[in-house]
C-alpha cells in the first residue's frame, strides 16, 4: 500500500475499510466530506461538525481564488487557520464550476479563461496556477484541473476533452509544491466506458496520491451513473484512495461504497436542509408539509443529533415557514449527522462482513449495527 493510504479490510462485496493519512490527521474511509465551498459549511459551526464526527471538509479553489483571494488566506495562516478547522481539507480545483459557467468561459490548451460571476472581471485558470493557488490555501489534498464534461456531449468532444484533461494533469504534477500536500488525478471520459478506461490507464501511470472519478451526477440518470462508476472503480489502483466526486444521494453512496469507492462529497444534505427536505430513518421528509403543524414528535426518534434531541417537528416547521435562520442551522445539523451516521454504519458493515447491508435502503440502515 501507499505510505499515506492503507486498505484495512475488504469485504466480499468489494467495499473497503481504509485509513488515509494527511498532514492534518487521519481519515477513516469510507467517508463523506461536507462541502465548505467558500471556507464554510453553510449554516454549520466547525465545532458542530467536529462533534458529529466529521473528519474532512471540502473547499473550492475557484471560489476562494475569487474571494477573498488565495494570497490573503496564505498571509492569514492558510485555510485551516482562516476557517478555524484543524482537520483535513480537500480543495476541488474548480473544474465543475468552470463547467457550470457555460458561455462565461472559454477552454484552450492553456487553461480556461472565464468571467467572474461576482463582478464580471476576466481570469485565467491554468494547471500551473491552480496548483499554486491550492498550495497557497494549504489544503491537505489538491485536485488537478479538469473539465467536467456534459453528459450528452458527443464522442469526439469527449475524446478531445479527456485527452486535454490528461495533459493538464501532467502539467499539474510538474507544478506540485510541497510534499505535505497530496495530489489526486481526476478520471474523465464522459459516458464512454472505453474512454474512461483509457483515462484510467494514462492517469494511473502518473504518481498521483489518489484518484477521483468526475463527470458523474450531472444529469446522466441513475442507470448510467451506477454502470460507469462500477466499471471505472475496478480499473483504479488498489493502493490509492478512490473518490467519487459530487455524487450524494444516500442510495448512490451506498452503491458506490459497495463497489469500492472511499470518499464522497455533495451539497445535497445542506442544500436540501435549507429547502426543508430532511433525511430520516423512516425516509425523506418535507418539513414544510401542513401535517406537521402540531406534531410534537422529534424529527427522527432514532436520531441522536442536537436537533432531534431538543425540538419537535412542529417547531421545525414553524421555523421554516417563518423564514428563520435557525431553520437552516437545525436542518443542516440533522442532515449532516444523518450522512455521518450512514458512513459509520458503512465502516462497521465492512468490519463485520455484512454483505447484506448493501442491499437495504439507506434509511433503515441507521437502525442497524448499533
Confirm whether 86 is a catalytic residue. Answer: no
Task: State the cell numbers at 159.
Answer: 475524446
**Distances from the Cα of 144 to the Cαs of 34, 128, 217, 343, 359, in angstroms?**
20, 9, 19, 26, 34
Bond into 286 cis (ω within 30): no
Strands (DSSP E) contained in the chain are: 5-10, 16-22, 25-29, 31-34, 57-60, 89-92, 105-107, 112-115, 122-125, 141-143, 182-187, 210-213, 242-244, 263-266, 277-280, 283-286
Q: Choosing from 92, 252, 262, 300, which is the catalytic residue? A: 92
What is the rounded distance in angstroms from the CA atom of residue 261 to the CA atom of residue 7? 12
Burial of 186 (C-beta count, 10 Å sphere; 0-12/13-18/19+):
buried
What is the rounded distance in angstroms from the CA atom of residue 190 to the CA atom of residue 152? 8
Angle formed by the axes of helices 250-259 and 222-233, nearest 10°:
20
What is the rounded distance in angstroms from the CA atom of residue 263 to the CA atom of residue 257? 9
Task: Kindly write down the DSSP assignment for every residue of 64-99, as one continuous string.
Answer: HHHTT-HHHHHHTT-HHHHHT--S-EEEE-SHHHHH
∠ at Cα 95 (93, 99), nearest 5°?
A: 155
Question: Position of cell 479527456?
Answer: 162
CA dihedral 162, 163, 165, 169 (to 10 degrees): 140
What is the rounded distance in angstroms from the CA atom of residue 65 to the CA atom of residue 136? 10
Q: Choosing from 11, 48, 252, 265, which is the catalytic residue? A: 265
Residues facing 115 on adjacent strands: 122
Confirm whether 92 is a catalytic residue. Answer: yes
Closest residue by Cα to residue 280 from 252, 301, 264: 301
Q: Which residues are identified as catalytic?
A: 92, 265
Amino acid at each position: 500500500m501507499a505510505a499515506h493510504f492503507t486498505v484495512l479490510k475488504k469485504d466480499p462485496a468489494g467495499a473497503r475499510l481504509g485509513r488515509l493519512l494527511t498532514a492534518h490527521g487521519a481519515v477513516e474511509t469510507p467517508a463523506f466530506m461536507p462541502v465548505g465551498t467558500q471556507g464554510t459549511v453553510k449554516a454549520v459551526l466547525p465545532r458542530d461538525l467536529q462533534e458529529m464526527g466529521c473528519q474532512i471538509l471540502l473547499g473550492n479553489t475557484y471560489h476562494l481564488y475569487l474571494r477573498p483571494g488565495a494570497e490573503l488566506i496564505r498571509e492569514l495562516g492558510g485555510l485551516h487557520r482562516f476557517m478555524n478547522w484543524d482537520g483535513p481539507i480537500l480543495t476541488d480545483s474548480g473544474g465543475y464550476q468552470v463547467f457550470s459557467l457555460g458561455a462565461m468561459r472559454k477552454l484552450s490548451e492553456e487553461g480556461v479563461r472565464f468571467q467572474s460571476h461576482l463582478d464580471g472581471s476576466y481570469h485565467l485558470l491554468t494547471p500551473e496556477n491552480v496548483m499554486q493557488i491550492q498550495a497557497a490555501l494549504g489544503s491537505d489534498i489538491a485536485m488537478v484541473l479538469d473539465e467536467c464534461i456534459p453528459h450528452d456531449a458527443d464522442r469526439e468532444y469527449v475524446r478531445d476533452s479527456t485527452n486535454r484533461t490528461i495533459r493538464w494533469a501532467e502539467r499539474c504534477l510538474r507544478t506540485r509544491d510541497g510534499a505535505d500536500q497530496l495530489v489526486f488525478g481526476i478520471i474523465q471520459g464522459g459516458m464512454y466506458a472505453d474512454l474512461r478506461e483509457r483515462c484510467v490507464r494514462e492517469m494511473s501511470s502518473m504518481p498521483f496520491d489518489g484518484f477521483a472519478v468526475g463527470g458523474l451526477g450531472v444529469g446522466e440518470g441513475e442507470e448510467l451513473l451506477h454502470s460507469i462508476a462500477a466499471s471505472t472503480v475496478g480499473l483504479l489502483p488498489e493502493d490509492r484512495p478512490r473518490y467519487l466526486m459530487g455524487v450524494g444521494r444516500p442510495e448512490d453512496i451506498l452503491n458506490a461504497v459497495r463497489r469500492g469507492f472511499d470518499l464522497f462529497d455533495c451539497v445535497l444534505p445542506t442544500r436540501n436542509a435549507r429547502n426543508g427536505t430532511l433525511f430520516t430513518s423512516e425516509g425523506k421528509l418535507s418539513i414544510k408539509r401542513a401535517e406537521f403543524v402540531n406534531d410534537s414528535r422529534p424529527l427522527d426518534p432514532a436520531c441522536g443529533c442536537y436537533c432531534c434531541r431538543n425540538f419537535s417537528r412542529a417547531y421545525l416547521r414553524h421555523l421554516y415557514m417563518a423564514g428563520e435562520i435557525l431553520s437552516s442551522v437545525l436542518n443542516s445539523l440533522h442532515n449532516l449527522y444523518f450522512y455521518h451516521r450512514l458512513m459509520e454504519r458503512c465502516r462497521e458493515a465492512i468490519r463485520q462482513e455484512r454483505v447484506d447491508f448493501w442491499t437495504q435502503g439507506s434509511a433503515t440502515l441507521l437502525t442497524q449495527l448499533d
